[in-house]
Structure 1
């Protein structure tokens, strides 16, 4: 195939190929969309070959690609090396012929969005091979009234009056004017959040609101959110192509550089969306992993995070260079050894095994510490709850500690234990734990099992709930479900409604009766008294058992 042509040239005569190559050397004035002479030549060739032809023209009026298609379609070559400079558009316009129908079709508009072309045009070819009218469209900066595309008047090529450079300049000026405020534009990560779901819109909105809080916890600036409900998710792009084109246009309009999906993406979906959008793409799992990586402070926490990250990465490895691929098996086809991809996989598996051994050692040390506490006869109260329910703030107020407590999801990853004197003067160990969350990926559940081992030694669970959260009932159910999956439903527990300072007194009383719960404000220690009395009462059997055990041990020593 000629280096100046792209597409299927099989069946073409040498003279036809030469005429196509001459097209490549044609130029148009930079201010012209297309010249009359070039449109005549393009239409005549397309009619003669009975195929669609396309040309990609840069802003200097030079033809970068001549595309030879089929009767009903063309395939655009990879143009990733052509990047937008001053604006966000590609710097290329596509003019191609239509033989069987008039106007721009859906594929044309998708190409316009996916490739961020300056302009797309469909040139009609008459039965006599002369050019008909040309249909032209461009992206709209503002998406006025839900519209994403602007159309120029449909005229014959020789009637085109539009100054192309002025049109593009005004489009990019408008894009620049609509850029977000400087502090947002300067932010490292500027994201659009996307949910593609088969569930109800209400459920999708709830989950997306949580994803927004996760993004905020990770230091990401959220510019927009998009929800698409489908009967069945697209196996390649998750969302439909039309919605994906809208997403690309929206990202361009708000200067987003990151797409965060609420659903977990398969490796192939992540690659496909990344290739089409040319943006960084992550999913909910990656976002949570990033937060964990930022927040983990202890050696144990860091190990757990690294293990989860490696498990997530392992199935997503792929070879980027076919030169490393193995030869096929059999005589004469045995490979030279491991490929780079296989070496990477083996190293990751070895690293996971080493981390698991190290984590097991740490877990053994923690078991020894728990046994020492048991010998001391101190009951253990574990504080559990949905992430950002106020568990660490409560423990800080209760014990005058200064553990990190922020209004962010997963502010606490490492377990912390403090001694607390109860109303009857006895001591108990209160343990803060990592917050729970719905749909936590299995890899993360496994990685944090060691952290949650504290719960198995607890004598009492305090289930703290952010009662001011509109979705607190769903949060209660999520925590109860996880506790059941961990076989901890048998442990006695107290449901504690937190953040009552944000609710009306009457509403608090109604909620207390409905859920048979205690109510506190973690910011006000004065509200703790009834809760501590109840904790004291529920730990009495444990204390009596401990006293009997101490008496028994004393008798053994005396004898």
Structure 2
């Protein structure tokens, strides 16, 4: 169980905006949300425009003195830098400030350590943390000497930070060996799902867009949901019924974020692999977020990097009850509030409409003696309403191309 301090850490945020930096304000706002998610109290933030980062101290000497004075005056516990620090910059900043200094990467790792629930998720976070620590073991700054816990020190714990490089490498090798075993088992289950005739839906979207809420709307299972970043880390798959007996699987995965650390992309590759073979993506978007257009682009770009951009995608603009004006950039799309019962029904129908576009139409003659076979067919195909009035009735509907062979059993 994670123990949190009764008194939140008081933190200062620091960011440097380069000329080519995109979405800097969004990134700093997001950093504040990340810090609060980790349990910190954000006191203030400092931003500086520069042509390049200072190789020694990240920020200029004047800004360094300004921040140092504020740290002493406001009894700051931690400084969080919005960019990735080199080991040298990290050590120099801790020496200059006299408090713990962490970067955006370490903050995200810390939140992941809080959120991981499954054995595999904890292994993946631990692996990413160890790989992050390895090049930083040479420093003897505040982070390595401090025995207290707090933000940036969850997961492996302080004792891990004191291990030498060989010990860290041994741990990395051991965790990678365990993850290969887990991945082998996951691959076996994934292959069974691929071979299955059941339709597969994947939930994707920026963190805190409402994916877990949507999962709970479409399934009877209660997925953890909260208004916080990275509420869900582990891939979760549930079976759902969209129409009558028509079955589908719904998989919820980790939320995406701007500048997702490369170590985490690699560490969670197997988790994201759960979405590689889905038939339809539901791209959940927080319509109330003023930066939702940038969030959409980040998700789409990551899908391209993962080779998943060709998978059909339905954009779900969520939280429409919290916004008056919306610019939609993704099509097809649906606008709703998952809190509204009518919106949930509309969502189900829209998903069924998209499945019809993906499936192929069919028309078969069914005799009364083969009527019982429609029960099994309705699990994998969308069958139009019918009423048997003759010995041979024409049944129409939609079915996946890979399942068309199932229609042959109705032929004479």
TM-score (norm 1): 0.59
2:153 aligned residue? none
User: Deviation per CA, 1:74-130, whole angstroms, max 9, x where unpaired?
Assistant: xxxxxxxxxxxxxxxxxxxxxxxxxxxxxxxxxxxxxxxxxxxxxxxxxxxxxxxxx
CA distance in 2, matches of 1:398, 1:532: 8
Q: Is the 8 A contact 2:313 2:332 kept in 1?
A: no
2:400 aligned residue? 544
CA distance in 1, matches of 2:304, 2:236: 23
Asked if residue 302 in structure 1 is aligned to residue 122 in structure 2, the reply is yes
- Runs of 4+ with deviation above 6 angstroms: none
Change in CA separation of 1:202 and 1:342 when aligned onto 2, cut-off 3 Å: closer
Q: Is the 8 A contact 1:383 1:433 kept in 2?
A: yes
Q: Is the 8 A contact 1:397 1:525 kept in 2?
A: no
Unaligned runs of 5+ in 2: 141-160, 360-398
Superposed displacement of residue 186, structure 1 = 6.5
Asked if residue 401 in structure 1 is aligned to residue 221 in structure 2, the reply is yes
1:363 aligned residue? 183
Asked if residue 519 in structure 1 is aligned to residue 335 in structure 2, the reply is yes
1:255 aligned residue? 75
Superposed displacement of residue 478, structure 1 = 0.4
Asked if residue 280 in structure 1 is aligned to residue 100 in structure 2, the reply is yes
Q: Is the 8 A contact 1:398 1:525 kept in 2?
A: no
2:91 aligned residue? 271
Change in CA separation of 1:195 and 1:531 when aligned onto 2, cut-off 3 Å: same
Q: Is the 8 A contact 1:394 1:523 kept in 2?
A: no
1:221 aligned residue? 41
2:64 aligned residue? 244
SS of alignment partner, residue 455 of structure 1: coil
Unaligned runs of 5+ in 1: 1-184, 321-340
Q: Is the 8 A contact 2:35 2:107 kept in 1?
A: yes
1:231 aligned residue? 51
| Equivalences for residues 21-60 of structure 1 within 5 A | none
Task: Name which one, 1 or 2, has greater alpha-carbon Rg.
Answer: 1
User: Deviation per CA, 1:318-377, whole angstroms, max 9, x where unpaired?
Assistant: 175xxxxxxxxxxxxxxxxxxxx9982122222212212211221222222233334542
2:26 aligned residue? 206
Q: Which has the higher contact order (CA 8 A, sep 6+)?
A: 2
User: Deviation per CA, 1:274-299, whole angstroms, max 9, x where unpaired?
Assistant: 01111000000000000000110101
| Equivalences for residues 68-87 of structure 1 within 5 A | none
| Equivalences for residues 500-511 of structure 1 within 5 A | 500-504=320-324, 507-508=325-326, 511=327
User: Deviation per CA, 1:502-531, whole angstroms, max 9, x where unpaired?
Assistant: 022xx35xx458754211212223202333
Aligned residues: 347
Change in CA separation of 1:544 and 1:319 when aligned onto 2, cut-off 3 Å: closer
Superposed displacement of residue 403, structure 1 = 1.5
2:131 aligned residue? 311
- The alignment yields a C-alpha RMSD, in angstroms, of 2.5
Asked if residue 534 in structure 1 is aligned to residue 350 in structure 2, the reply is yes
Q: Is the 8 A contact 1:295 1:411 kept in 2?
A: yes
Q: Which moved more, 1:520-529 or 1:388-397?
A: 520-529
Asked if residue 378 in structure 1 is aligned to residue 198 in structure 2, the reply is yes
CA distance in 2, matches of 1:422, 1:318: 56
| Equivalences for residues 485-500 of structure 1 within 5 A | 485-500=305-320
CA distance in 1, matches of 2:221, 2:23: 37
Q: Is the 8 A contact 2:208 2:228 kept in 1?
A: yes
